[in-house]
Chain A
Amino acid sequence: MSKYWKEYQKEIADDNYFYVRSCIRQNFFPGAENLFIDILRNKLGKTVFEDADHTTCTGIGYHTDIVPLETTMTVVSRQFALMMEKGYENLVVSCVTSFGLYSEILDMWKHNPELKKKIAGYLAEATGRKFMEPKNMVHASDILYKYRNDIAAIAKHKLVNRHTGEPLKIVDHIGCHYAKTFPERGVGGAEFPQVLTGLITAWGGQTVDYPERRHCCGFGFRNYLVQENRGYSIAQSKIKLESMKPYEPDLMVANCPGCAMFLDRWQYTLEETEGSIYGARGRKIPVVTHEELAGMVLGYDPWEIGLQTHQVEVEDLLDKIGIDYNPELKYADRKGNLIGEPEMIQHHLC
């Protein structure tokens, strides 16, 4: 690697991770985080510690301006304290909003020691805990990036259309708060983001470069959370979907749980409201998270990792890759009993 590209690399710890979950990911992709932990522990042989006591980082409250900076900083300092108390120094963050926020907070503490001291005081006063900072902090997708070739070596499937032998055409969507907030903390920075492209190409697929590739998915915090503002959110996703449509992507992958959810849900809403469909042959484009992409190539059961919790159906994609699934168990509970099917599921045939 030339010296110049070193700037676009980052240090990713190689083991002994303290994992903090994401509210959004747990709500909307409930199989993804346990899948990630299982891959790390049982496929890559890593140590991952999960602490029952960590809470929301308050990120959504912070970016909707109902939680002040110092409150958020103190909550985050509590997560760091929990990690150090358990003897870990390498933080792995599931949520991209949290990751951006932790990056911002560590940066502010570096430049503003007075503020850091004040937060340490708040933490002690409110919780009696000792203020500490992590040695290494990465997003969960960084770890999969680091071990992408190890995963490729034990993969059961490739991201290849088995009917045509062609690599699958995959849109990578990187959460804005992964690399736009602190480019030096993202693999490839804000200009050459590699974190998902690296996974896609190592596992046999090809990435789609389209004009609005780096446009925000449109979460927009208060712009989605308040019902009357939601037009902003869907309008931004629509810009992306229209721009990627001519390239006929087979799927999208996102490392931010919010982006994955919006790109999935807004396709449903745009079809219901406008009759628009953005995938090839009159089908919507499945959206998966980085953990789910790894789970698919590693041969996990699609329903055990939660692919039925996506609004856009994934069966077409599973067929293209050659992943087996039992349709009877899609909407089953833990014991295999049918929970009942979502209403109005649309099956597009052509």
Chain B
Amino acid sequence: MALYLIRRLMQSGFVLIAMSLLVFLGVYAVGDPVEILISPDADQEERERAVRALGLDLPLWHQYLVFLGRALQGDLGRSFVFNEPAIQLILQRMPATLELAFGAMFISVLIGLPLGLYAGLRPDGRLSKTIMAGSILGFSLPSFWVGLMLIMLFAVQLGWLPSTGRGETAMLFGIRWSFLTGDGLAHILLPAINLSLFKISLVIRLTRAGVRETMLMDYVKFARAKGLTPFRVTFVHVFKNIMIPVVTVLGLELGGTIAFSVVTESVFAWPGMGKLIIDSINVLDRPVIVAYLMMIVLMFIVINLLVDLVYTLLDPRVRLEGKA
């Protein structure tokens, strides 16, 4: 197990370095920040001073090495716009995105799992067919449009829920969270639902497929032949088996949810990383863009690692092979 972990960590290191190069080159190719940051009527001397201050006069490889060297010390550059460390900007916005993403995950499991279970146990029922049709909608409706509709309905027409911002926050571990206050919860509800729509559909379909497949297994029939109650057969024998794919896929989805909450955050003016990156792209704030992408890469790596570990906990067959 330890050996496996070390190997995985080394792989992750290589991925990080490779990604940093890609990200750096990719971002460098996009536009010239000088055009945006420096006022058009500045004279030549002023421009050159600014360019030097930002390190933009060095050759590209040199800029990358400087970037890499600093990155290793946890310094991903200073924002051209805010003149603050980029990493700090991102970390400030991260809790908002994280709680939104986890809220969406929570909702998708809370709704998707029971619906998927029902649809799997009664595949021919009318309700099951409705659920499955609904899940297709969840997959195919564009996120921003659903977001707007949610705002129209619940914020504008009915006036039940707020549609912008994080609302009141409370401190926990020195970080501000919305989900700890009633007002904050009201604020997070709409964007979290919006973000969870796709994932609800995903969980429904995964669960249903898993249930249908598992119900046909000999061990389920044997469990029934042992005289277990249908409740125990479903919630122990079937459920434990379908949790393996559901947890794995949802875990991998988490990274995507965090990274691509951009749309939802923009629609609901949710002050998270997604909104920051959109703003930064608009003004070509390179250090922030690079730092954001690096954070996302890092996050994917960590999440994949965690998912693998959880997977081995859920499936005893993998556990043994891991040790060998």
B is a partner of A: no
